[in-house]
Structures are given as structure tokens and as C-alpha cells.
Amino acid sequence: MKKEQVVNCQFSVWYPIFKKHTIKSLILPLPQNVIDYLLDDGTLVVSGSDHNTQQPHTNSASDAEEDIQWSDDETTTTVTAPEFPEFTSQVLEAINALGGRIFPKLNWSAPRDANWIALNSSLECHSLSDIFLLFKSSDFITHDLTQPFLQCSDQDSPDPVINYELVLRKWSELIPGGEFRCFVKENKLIAISQRDYTQYYQHILKQEDQICQAIQEFFNQHIQYNFLDEDFVFDVYRDSQGRVWLIDVNPFGEVTDSLLFGWEELKSGGEITQQQEGLAFRYTTSEVTVQPSPSLSYRIPRDFVDLSTGEDAYKLIDFLKLKKSQQEESDEEENTQQ
Ligand SMILES: Nc1ncnc2c1ncn2[C@@H]1O[C@H](COP(=O)(O)OP(=O)(O)OP(=O)(O)O)[C@@H](O)[C@H]1O
């Protein structure tokens, strides 16, 4: 996989080409101070200033950044997250234009590994602080920001310049059993895998031929020869009326999860068992093969999740205060012993 293939799979590259066949979205350039904030481990995500109330911002001359401040007085401890007034109002405007509920992404990735941290355990966002909470907790987002070309074979060539972008997609209730990943080699659709492969869906077994045919038709009519590369991977959603929608485009190579196939067999071509002429379709065929969800490995203990995101979000702040006063007490003890 070459760096150029990764560049071509950025959202802002494929979206204009396939706009009519995918979920409505808006793209905003990500300012450098927001990128710095996302990469800074030391700052919490607590901000009251960006709730979706559509209030005009009076101070939008420049986006100021502040650090968290712990006041000395225990009774008035405050936690201040950085503020980006101009960017915040752009994001709120975009969220409102998309109906108030959005799915956030960067150039390539969504923070799928962080959904456990959100109040609703979902990637649905209504404000910039919802987005920040997910982005700051996600290794996938950090990967986009720090090493997007990690697995490329042309490591000796200079890294292409990337303009980082915040992608806001209209929130859509997608049923996981309707999602499929499609592999294209030399402009031919060679393989389709059920995307949520850890679950068994009876309707996939029953409608195997219709699903294959609908995706093949969608590919022939709208995707084939329209993308910048001849090898790539695209994700689709087949809705309850049987209509197929494009969800995402990914590089053809190890950086993309090959799900029920192996990259070796996909790259070598000929060896895959084929359902229809030239096309292999794999899905989970019984409850027996059901595996734990891969996203479970990204989670942390439930107690901590409850503390940080449970019914009472202030519990985390109380917990941190407690830790701080315990630390101060032990420091004092140490001082008196010396
Ligand atoms: N607009 C949306 N509204 C709600 N859920 C969505 C939306 N877009 C995508 N999803 C859900 O989020 C999942 C991940 O989306 P997407 O493929 O865009 O992320 P990604 O980080 O590029 O994933 P991957 O690394 O597997 O390609 C999808 O499988 C789908 O279930």
C-alpha cells in the first residue's frame, strides 16, 4: 500500500465524487490549536460554553486557549477546558444544518474505540464538547493525527502534506446487520464481507443472493472507474428497502481490517471461494462462530466509566478532588516527618 492510496481515501477526497450515494456531511478545516489540544494528554474535556443553544458569540476575534486551573481554595475549585469560540460556532452551525445530531470523523477515522466513554455509549454528538470527549479518548483519532502513513510500503518517500479536517455526518440509525465491506482489486469487485462479523444475522443467510446482487449493481453503476485508485475497499449499508448507500472508502491493504477474509488471499486474487462469478461473499453462518465484539478490548473497567460518564458526571470531579486532597494530606505528613 502506497502513501498516495492513503491520501486518496481521505473523506474530503472521496466525498465530492460519491456525494449522491452517501450520508449528507459537512467538512470543516481543523485549526492547529484544536489539533494541539486533541494531542495534549494533560487537559480534560469540561466546558460549559458550547451547548447547542445557538447563542451568538460576542468574542470571536481569536480562539484563546487556557489550561485547566485548580484554584487553591477547595470550595471554589474550577476546571477550565480550552475554548475555541470561532471554531465552536462553526461546528454548532454545521451540526444544526445537519439536524442537530451528528457522527464525527477526522480525515480517515471515526473514534469507534471510544464510544464507551460517551454518556449514551454511542458516537452520536450534539456539541463540540461531545466530539472532543470522543476524539481525546480515541487511539484511532491519534493515529490519524500522528502516523497516518505508518503501514505504507514507500517509507522512503516524503510524507504528503495533510490538511486536517473535522467531518460531521448527519446521524443515521444504521443496523449493523446491514453493513458490508467490499474489496476492489484492479477495478473489479472481488469480495464482500459482513461488517459486524461477530454476530449471526439470519436475514443475511436468507438473502445472500439479493445482497450480493444489490452490492454488485451499486458498484457497477456508481463506484467502478469513478475512484482515483484501482485497488480500494468501500463500506456500504443496505437499508430496509434494499437500497445500497456508500459509508466509507479505505485503502486496499493491512491498514484496513479484512474482516472475514485474509489480506494474503485478497491480494493473491484467485484463491477465494466464489459465490457469484468473480465475487466471494462471506458472512457469519451460525451462532456457534459468534465471537466477543472486538471493541470490548478498548474498554476500561465499568467502575471508572460510571465515575467518568455515569448519571452524575460531577462524580469524576469529586473523585479527582478527593485524590488531590489525599495527596496534599500525605505531602503534609511527609513534611512534618522531615
Ligand atoms: N452517519 C452515521 N450515523 C450513525 N452511525 C454511523 C454513521 N456513519 C457511520 N456510522 C457507524 O459507524 C461505523 C464506523 O464508521 P466509518 O466506517 O465511517 O468509521 P471508520 O473509522 O472509517 O471505520 P473503519 O476504520 O472500520 O473504516 C459504521 O460501521 C457505522 O456503523
Per-residue pLDDT reduced to its tens digit, 294-322: 665 665 555 555 555 554 555 566 656 66
Rounded to two decimals, the ipTM of the complex is 0.98
**How far is 256 from 248, CA to CA, in rounded Å?**
11
What residue type is assigned to position 182 of the chain?
A: C
Is-contact 244 236, C-beta < 8 A? yes
* 329 Cα: distance to centroid of ligand 1 (angstroms): 47
Q: What is the DSSP string of 182-202?
A: EEEETTEEEEEEESSTTS--H
Query: Which of the residues in the chain have pLDDT under 50?
Result: 48, 53-71, 76-77, 311
Which one of 27, 103, 105 would you pick to mutate in the ligand 1 pocket, going by the greatest count of ligand atoms within 8 A of its CB? 103
| Rounded distance from Cα 107 to ligand 1 centre (Å) | 13
Question: What backbone torsions phi and psi does residue 96 show, to the nearest 5 degrees?
Answer: -65, -40
Distance CA 239, CA 51 (A): 32
In the numeric block, the cell 467538512 is attached to 27
Q: Which residues line ligand 1 (CB under 6 A)?
A: 23, 103, 105, 109-110, 112, 140, 169-172, 174, 179, 195, 235, 247-248, 250, 257
Cell of 113: 474505540
Using the mean position of ligand 1's atoms as its centre, give its distance from the Cα of residue 247 in Å. 7
Name the residue among 78, 76, 77, 86 with its Cα closest to residue 48.
78
pLDDT at residue number 320 = 62
pLDDT for the residue 270: 59
Integer Cα distance of 224 and 96 in angstroms: 34
Residues 6+ apart with CB under 8 A from 128: 50, 84, 87, 88, 91, 92
Distance from the first to the final alpha carbon of the chain: 61
Distance of alpha carbon 321 from alpha carbon 77, whole angstroms: 8
- 110 Cα–ligand 1 center, Å: 6
For residues 281 and 44, give the distance between their C-alpha atoms in angstroms, rounded to a whole number: 44
What residues have CB less than 8 Å from 290, skipping those under 6 apart? 198, 199, 200, 284
CA-closest candidate to residue 116, choices 314, 331, 308: 308
Strands of the sheet with 280-282, listed across from one edge:
244-251, 232-238, 179-185, 188-194, 280-282
* CA dist list (Å): 41 to 38, 44, 45, 314: 8, 8, 11, 20
**Residue 316 has what pLDDT?**
61
* Residue 336: per-residue pLDDT: 64
Look-up of cell digits 469487485: 189
On whether the CB atoms of residues 88 and 128 are closer than 8 A, the answer is yes
Q: Which of 123, 140, 195 to mutate to test the pocket of ligand 1 (most atoms within 8 A of CB)?
A: 123
Residues 262, 256 contacting (CB under 8 angstroms): no
pLDDT digits (tens, 9 = 90+) for 24-40: 999 999 999 999 999 98
CA dihedral 174, 178, 182, 187 (to 10 degrees): -90
Residue of 23, 113, 174 with the most ligand 1 atoms within 8 Å of its CB, for mutation: 174
Residue 131 backbone dihedrals phi, psi, to 5 degrees? -65, -45
3-class secondary-structure state, position 282: strand
